[in-house]
Amino acid sequence: MLTIDFTGKVALVTGGAGGISSGIGRRFGDAGAKVYLADINDAKLKTIVEEMRKDGIDAVASHMDVTNEAEVKGVIDSIVANEGALDILCCASGVIYAKPYMDTTEAELLRCLSVNLVGTNNCCQAALRHMIPKRQGKIITIGSATSRMGSATLSHYSMSKFGIVGLTQSIALAVAAHNINVNGICPGFVNTEMMDIIFAENSRTSGVPVKEIAERYEQTNIPLKRFQTPQDIGEAACFLASDLAHNITGQCLNVCGAMRLN
């Protein structure tokens, strides 16, 4: 039986107050890693970390705005100073706006790009300054099913997530010579607050109740006919961060019930 053991490893998950992020952090912790969860939502982050600690996970809450390059560097430098290394970075911070394209604003576009794409880049660069000298490290980015195909009502979000795929591939090529693996995950519909936003917008524009919208998506958009869970994304992240994936880099793995096949 194959097992993944992160005992002695240190992991940082950004966007730690979110559903996918906390699912990833919990899975890393279950495998034995010391997990730092970072977010700007301090109250929610504190609750999540306390719940993890009750379950025996060594978790730490860190305030971090991924759009603030200096703050990102400070948090990551502090983690390395305290722990001796940062072994795993998972960039899962994200914002979304669900509305028809012609109703979107420049401010929303810039916010999506700043958090989802530039924020990911800030974290990767700060972590790599420590990983490269040690010639080891695993980085995981979080894309989306909309990284593979655009969306009429998620245009800015989709743009940022397309960028995540290009950024992931580019960083992987840049650091392959340093023995560092960089991969991404493209989740489908995951039971989180972000999915609620999408369904609410669809309900608003169609007049169909949210519950019915959700049922339609599950039964017609997903060949496996089930939504993904934060644990599903956590399992994929755990694999990509493990030695089982030591020869996989520059890839973006769809975890979407076959919504996307490319």
Contact assessment for residue 22 and residue 45, using Cβ atoms and an 8 Å cutoff: no
Q: Residue 54, Cβ neighbours under 10 Å: how many?
A: 8
Angle between helices 230-240 and 19-30 (to 10 degrees): 50
Strand order in the sheet with 34-39: 59-63, 34-39, 10-14, 88-91, 138-142, 181-187, 252-255
- Annotation says 157 is catalytic: yes
From 36, 97, 101, 157, active-site residue: 157
- Cβ contacts of 68 within 8 Å, gap of 6 or more: 122
Kind plus residue range of the DSSP H or E element containing 34: strand 34-39
Q: Catalytic amino acids?
A: 157
